[in-house]
Chain A
Amino acid sequence: DGGITQSPKYLFRKEGQNVTLSCEQNLNHDAMYWYRQDPGQGLRLIYYSQIVNDFQKGDIAEGYSVSREKKESFPLTVTSAQKNPTAFYLCASTRQTGNYGYTFGSGTRLTVV
């Protein structure tokens, strides 16, 4: 079955540590997105990529980094510069145009300990 796989489902980070969230899709979608979801704030776009080896900052990119070396993969690194990383992170993908909607992964819950 085609879909998006995010791993891990739960992740704990110590202060000052970088962590990487995985996102893999086998839908042959061109564009991929990372969102952060906090209670009462909706979805906020972190980074997006419309083509391999290219990506753009979203609305809240500070403290995050991404890479897009393969069409299927779009990992997100939460760096130590992100001061409030505890949140639910969602990866999404779509065909070249987002007008048909996004397919979302099941999310990663990141907690700072």
Chain B
Amino acid sequence: QKEVEQDPGPLSVPEGAIVSLNCTYSNSAFQYFMWYRQYSRKGPELLMYTYSSGNKEDGRFTAQVDKSSKYISLFIRDSQPSDSATYLCAMSAPYGNNRLAFGKGNQVVVIP
């Protein structure tokens, strides 16, 4: 079983819809959870950062962490064509080599 599972299947939504993305993980030591956004032929940029469980909201973006289920989510409200990108989840533990474990990424296309 991979440490982080993220369904890479492309997701197409109409403009204005809510986009829902998620990742599951197996390592219960993970405490730091991130979402990166990557536009085509660009490097990933940090979009959301959450420590431990709970929700975090930033504008149209909401990140949720459910440690009991080992499940994290990213919601994008009122999606825009500019949200078309690949979204990668990432997470790390507070000890050890501190390397991030990444999901494979989820391509999102918002259709005008």
Residues in A lying within 8 Å of B, measured CB to CB? 4, 6, 31, 33, 40-43, 45, 48, 50, 88, 90, 92, 94, 96-107, 109
Can you add 15 more A-B contacts, CB < 8 Å, to A99-B31, A106-B43?
A42-B6, A42-B8, A42-B88, A43-B105, A48-B99, A98-B100, A99-B92, A101-B36, A101-B49, A101-B100, A102-B100, A104-B44, A107-B41, A107-B43, A109-B41
A-B pairs under 8 A by CB, number: 60
Interface size in chain B (residues, C-beta < 8 A): 25
- Is B90 touching A106 in the complex (CB atoms < 8 A)? no
Given known A-B contacts A45-B99, A107-B43, A100 and B104 have beta carbons under 8 A apart: no
- Is A104 touching B45 in the complex (CB atoms < 8 A)? yes
Complex alpha-carbon distance, A98 and B46, angstroms: 13
**Chief secondary structure at chain A's binding surface:** strand
Chain B positions within 8 Å of A94 at CB level: 98
Contact of A40 among B8, B90, B100 (CB under 8 A): B8
Complex alpha-carbon distance, A81 and B100, angstroms: 28
Contact of B103 among A42, A104, A105 (CB under 8 A): A42
Closest B residue to A6 by CB, please name it: B43
